Amino acid sequence: MAVPPGVSEQDFKRALERFARVVGTEWVFTSDDDVALYKDAYTPLWNEAEERVASAALAPDSAEQVQEIVRIANEFRIPLYPISTGRNLGYGGSAPVLSGSVVLDLKRMNRILEVDERNAYALVEPGVSYFDLYRYIQERKLKLWIDCPDPGWGSVIGNALDHGAGYTMNPYRDHFGAQCGMEVVTGGGELVRTGMGALPNSRTWQQYKYGYGPYVDGIFSQSNFGVVTKMGIWLMPEPECYLDGNIECFGHDDIIPLVDHMSYLMNTGVQNTGTNLQSPLRFALAQDADLRSLLTREDAQAAARLSDVSRQRNVPIWSNTFKFYGPEEVVRAQWAYTKRRLASITNSRAVEGAFYRMPLTDEQKRTVRDEQDLGLPSLGVFSIGARSAFNPTPTTGHLGFSPVIPMTGEAVIQSQRVFSRVLQEAGRDVAANVFPQSYHPRTFVILIMFSVMHDVDANQQTRKLFRRLIEVAAENGWGEYRTHSAFMDDCARAYSFNNNALLHLHERIKDAVDPNGILSAGRYGIWPKHLRRS
Amino acid sequence: MAVPPGVSEQDFKRALERFARVVGTEWVFTSDDDVALYKDAYTPLWNEAEERVASAALAPDSAEQVQEIVRIANEFRIPLYPISTGRNLGYGGSAPVLSGSVVLDLKRMNRILEVDERNAYALVEPGVSYFDLYRYIQERKLKLWIDCPDPGWGSVIGNALDHGAGYTMNPYRDHFGAQCGMEVVTGGGELVRTGMGALPNSRTWQQYKYGYGPYVDGIFSQSNFGVVTKMGIWLMPEPECYLDGNIECFGHDDIIPLVDHMSYLMNTGVQNTGTNLQSPLRFALAQDADLRSLLTREDAQAAARLSDVSRQRNVPIWSNTFKFYGPEEVVRAQWAYTKRRLASITNSRAVEGAFYRMPLTDEQKRTVRDEQDLGLPSLGVFSIGARSAFNPTPTTGHLGFSPVIPMTGEAVIQSQRVFSRVLQEAGRDVAANVFPQSYHPRTFVILIMFSVMHDVDANQQTRKLFRRLIEVAAENGWGEYRTHSAFMDDCARAYSFNNNALLHLHERIKDAVDPNGILSAGRYGIWPKHLRRS
């Protein structure tokens, strides 16, 4: 039997017996086969000593049981690693950051406690997935949408706590921003309700965020200090219509005015969501070594040549999908204005896109380009890396390097060149990668995807490259917004202002709210006192 | 000389000498006349023993000076009370919650460090007022708007930290929600940058909020744990147009569909801001004792009678101003849709309002109904309580009781009745008071205004009534979102879920981040360990 670090086998057995009395023997998992299920299916550490593995897992059914487990863990100093549905693939999944931790699997706590149609919110437990919430709403024919990230099987709470993002309107697409009111069991074992939930019999727990006094909810994101057992989430009333359209550009530097217009439209609410920014030409050059080399050059000639190729082939170097939600007359006016505004970019082209009136028919649900844009949970993203005409070698999983850069065309150009050179030096594909994603209101995330394989050498090379990217990003003032557990310490080191003052603040809060350091050891670089390197 | 509680006169003198070496003698205020200026001009405790007074005040010029002051205060255990511009009238102003505290006056730190027009944000120090930021923008002819609360002389940072609200679009009108990235001197004296500011040379400190790991900014709101020395704030690009219009209703229960439509429009972004909800009839009944009694009755007859009076007099019982910002074709489409949607309320009436194309002319700036709706700072709100035809007795100041209620018509009706009865029992005016304000996206604040006088008896009666209102609100599941310092402990007591678990969490964070408890003693009910009642 695996045993958590620093815990005697005897103490661990006693603790497991105590846990079993709380959750029932059938919800304490200790067999090798059961515990192996909590490995990270997408781990870049496959079959290496560093691979993160649990010692056991527990599946409580209620906040009260979580509270009892946390108390027992405090007594025996058992490291716990809470997961919601454990679907956080690409970021560590269900595996703990500290090997030997006991996974606190909250999947059984999957109750949808309330959905209010008039005020458009839900109160859920951590085991509730996007699919669960979607089905609940559909079965009751409520006129509400969810906002989900790419895979729909993840936890509504887990994704919000992980600062995840979706694809419908503001404020819903910022999943932590759309949370309102929490119930938390702190590392010290206290059950706290935040915001208006601190008022007994509160009528506005899921409607007013800040409550009275300091606003503490944010410290519970990333799950270092407490186990969130209930959370409110704002939902979007079903809009009457959805409309999208593309603006295509054929000049390399058109990205500069394109992003400026996009910022204006977003920041004034005309385009009240993220956009889908693509470079069709970049993809088209994937097979063309000669032209591909242009992507890493800094000179004006290279930029001019790319513009020429774009125009000659009639393949846009930049394409941006604008999306609008609302009454037909409003979305049509928003798109008309967008087209007129963007027409100032010479030779750009507006291409009409989709228009849907809600509710969607079943046929429409099957054929929409991106289900997530229309509030439909899906698992379609898992086609990434699957065997296909473009990819004869299916991968085990993937991993995203995702630094935050300013939302300007100049930053897109600069970051693409900088990261492309690092990838090129490592002999990696630069064409179909290094892409700005519009996940957040005021910045882009440059997403660089890596395949994860059942191949130790390949994974080690990928990790080495990933660490190099973290360094290069930091040199340029760009940092990751979230990362896979294999790189959490590396990224944390980059956030070093004033001798890592923010990390020290996190540690002070850690020691106060989780005094025995039993929760989520190592997550996002925050270690309990007894495991901290000074 | 006044001396802080628990500090010897000798120690205080030594501390003041040390402070003077940091900030210069001229910025250490100890004379009675100087210190009296830090009294709360609107205090409801005027001339009573409880009135909050400072022992001294310090005005540092930089974050480094703040850090040195905090270290000295830690050494001598001097209670500090940080204020930005000290204009927080109605909530305690520049006076400390704990009498004898040294006011840390940040007014000299009034630098506008950066305004970025393309990405629409500012980085400011705490002494920067809304007027300062507005003028800076105007002088440089930047196409940016600020979002300001009623009085424009307050601090951009102070109002955000106080969970203040404004009147333009989302997300700007939620001042804490629009903040992005802080620099803070913690109570323990450490200088921390939050969010992406923890990355040296960061390019996205004012653009991406959450940074890496737990999101801590919220704990610094209400200023219990640190002194915020810099803060980013998102600004709104100047919209092309502004349009507003009223929907007037003549039936008592029309508030129910009116608020439902309003919620839908807000939550789908069609009406992407708060509205201005009024009851013209309620004001009209102020002089009519007979009809006024209808306002506190619960029976259907009273409601029917009010509807009759509304129709007979052609004075709407409910009137709601919808506001739209954006390109002309978009705002006209939004208003057209709003009118069509609201037309389903029988006998309701749409009244066209203002339409402005930006930039406003000077004449338009002088004549707009509410400057704040158009991003213009003003002091016009101070006409409240001033001598006028309606108010022969000018007041010293005012005080708002402001519990948060659900955004439903039923909650408006119920809370108006409940609070009107409490006011009636106390012999107060119920007609022109008890009004739902649309400060926040998903709730109303019921605002009940009181006059503050240079009259001890009158103030004591007002305080007694205020405390009764806190109790009655809590019995109904409604709590205040912010309050005057005279009532901070009373309100905190209402937030008692699980034996005041949230307050205890605040206290744990307090003890960790401000271990000697030198900052903002008593603010929002949070006391340092040595002053805490168990």
Per-residue pLDDT tens for B243-260? Answer: 999 999 999 999 999 999
Model pLDDT, residue A295: 79
Q: φ and ψ at A353, to 5 degrees? A: -120, -135
Q: Once rounded to an integer, what is the mean pLDDT over residues B288-315?
A: 88
Q: How far off is chain A from B9, nearest CA to CA, in Å?
A: 32
Mutate to test the interface with A, among B91, B118, B146 (most CBs of A within 10 A): B118
**Within 10 Å of residue B107's Cβ, how many Cβ atoms?**
19
Q: How far off is chain B from A531, nearest CA to CA, in Å?
A: 18
Q: Once rounded to an integer, what is the mean pLDDT over residues A69-82?
A: 98
Q: Chain B residues with CB inside 8 Å of A191's CB? A: 498, 501
Mean pLDDT score across all residues of chain A: 95
Contact at CB, A442 and B264, closer than 8 angstroms: no
Nearest to A258 by CA among A449, A436, A445, A439: A436
Contact at CB, B193 and A498, closer than 8 angstroms: yes
Rounded to 5°, angle at Cα A356 from A355 and A361: 145
Contact at CB, B525 and A213, closer than 8 angstroms: yes
Q: Check whether A16 has a pLDDT greater than 90.
A: yes
Residue B146 and residue B166: Cα distance in Å, rounded? Answer: 10
Q: How far off is chain A from B273, nearest CA to CA, in Å?
A: 10
Q: Check whether A43 has a pLDDT greater than 70.
A: yes
Q: Chain A residues with CB inside 8 Å of B476's CB? A: 203
Residue A256: closest C-alpha in chain B: B118
Q: Once rounded to an integer, what is the mean pLDDT over residues B356-380?
A: 93
Q: Which two tokens stand for residue A524?
A: 């996002």
B120 DSSP 8-state letter: T
The structure's pTM equals 0.97
Model pLDDT, residue A430: 73
Q: Once rounded to an integer, what is the mean pLDDT over residues A117-127?
A: 98
Q: How far off is chain A from B129, nearest CA to CA, in Å?
A: 22
Contact at CB, A325 and B268, closer than 8 angstroms: yes
Nearest to A442 by CA among B272, B178, B198: B178
Residue A59 one-letter amino acid: A
- pLDDT tens digits for A86-112? 999 999 999 999 999 999 999 999 999
Q: Chain B residues with CB inside 8 Å of A264's CB? A: 237
DSSP H helical ranges for B322-441: 328-342, 362-367, 409-425
CB-count exposure of residue A424 (10 Å: 0-12, 13-18, 19+): middle
Which of A242, A482, A523, A524 is the catalytic position?
Answer: A482
Q: Check whether A516 has a pLDDT greater than 80.
A: yes
Mutate to test the interface with B, among A121, A410, A442, A444 (most CBs of B within 10 A): A442
Q: Chain B residues with CB inside 8 Å of A215's CB? A: 163, 176, 218-219, 221
Q: How far off is chain B from A334, nearest CA to CA, in Å?
A: 6
Give A292's pLDDT tier (boundaries 50, 70, 90).
Answer: confident
Q: Is A91 a catalytic residue?
A: yes
Q: How far off is chain B from A369, nearest CA to CA, in Å?
A: 22
Q: Chain B residues with CB inside 8 Å of A497's CB? A: 193, 197-200, 202
List active site positions of B.
Answer: 91, 481-482
Residue B340: closest C-alpha in chain A: A327
Percent of chain A with pLDDT over 90: 88
Burial B66-91 (b: 16+ CB within 10 A, else e): bbbbbbbbbebbbbbbbbbbbbbbbb
Mutate to test the interface with A, among B143, B201, B202, B203 (most CBs of A within 10 A): B203
Mutate to test the interface with B, among A180, A259, A405, A502 (most CBs of B within 10 A): A502
Partner residue opposite B213 with nearest CB, options A191, A237, A506: A506
Q: Which two tokens stand for residue B156?
A: 């951009």
Model pLDDT, residue A2: 86
Q: Chain A residues with CB inside 8 Å of B496's CB? A: 198-200
Partner residue opposite A496 with nearest CB, options B200, B224, B491: B200
B348: left (phi over 0), alpha (psi -120 to 50) or beta: beta
Chain-centroid distance, C-alpha A136 = 23
Q: Once rounded to an integer, what is the mean pLDDT over residues B103-116?
A: 98
Q: Chain B residues with CB inside 8 Å of A120's CB? A: 263, 267, 442
Cis peptide before B359 (omega within 30 of 0): yes
* Helix-then-strand count for chain B, H and E: 15, 20
Model pLDDT, residue B432: 67
Residue B97 and residue B53: Cα distance in Å, rounded? Answer: 8
Q: Check whether A431 has a pLDDT greater than 70.
A: no
Check: CB of residue B99 under 8 Å from CB of residue B38.
Answer: no
Check: CB of residue A179 under 8 Å from CB of residue A160.
Answer: yes
Contact at CB, B333 and A336, closer than 8 angstroms: no
Rounded to 5°, angle at Cα A420 from A419 and A424: 120
Residue A241: closest C-alpha in chain B: B268
Model pLDDT, residue B289: 78
Q: Check whether B390 has a pLDDT greater than 90.
A: no
Mutate to test the interface with B, among A91, A116, A206, A330 (most CBs of B within 10 A): A330
Helix A409-425 and helix A456-475, axial crossing angle in degrees, nearest 10: 140
Contact at CB, A210 and B176, closer than 8 angstroms: yes
Partner residue opposite A502 with nearest CB, options B163, B193, B496: B193
Model pLDDT, residue B434: 78
Cα-based distances in Å from B347 to A272, B247, B318: 33, 11, 12
Q: How far off is chain A from B309, nearest CA to CA, in Å?
A: 30
Mean pLDDT score across all residues of chain B: 95
- pLDDT tens digits for B197-217? 999 999 999 999 999 999 999
- pLDDT tens digits for B46-75? 999 999 999 999 999 999 999 999 999 999
Contact at CB, B213 and A524, closer than 8 angstroms: yes
Model pLDDT, residue A159: 98
Q: φ and ψ at B41, to 5 degrees? A: -60, -25
Check: CB of residue A382 under 8 Å from CB of residue A151.
Answer: yes
Q: Chain B residues with CB inside 8 Å of A443's CB? A: 204, 207-208
Model pLDDT, residue B41: 93
Model pLDDT, residue B382: 77
Partner residue opposite A267 with nearest CB, options B120, B215, B333: B120
Half-sphere exposure of B353 (CA within 13 A, CB side): 26
Q: Check whether B148 has a pLDDT greater than 80.
A: yes
Contact at CB, B334 and A337, closer than 8 angstroms: no
Check: CB of residue A169 under 8 Å from CB of residue B268.
Answer: yes
Q: Which two tokens stand for residue B94?
A: 């520049």
Q: Check whether B396 has a pLDDT greater than 90.
A: no
Q: φ and ψ at B74, to 5 degrees? A: -65, -40
Q: Is A417 a catalytic residue?
A: no
Q: How far off is chain B from A430, nearest CA to CA, in Å?
A: 24
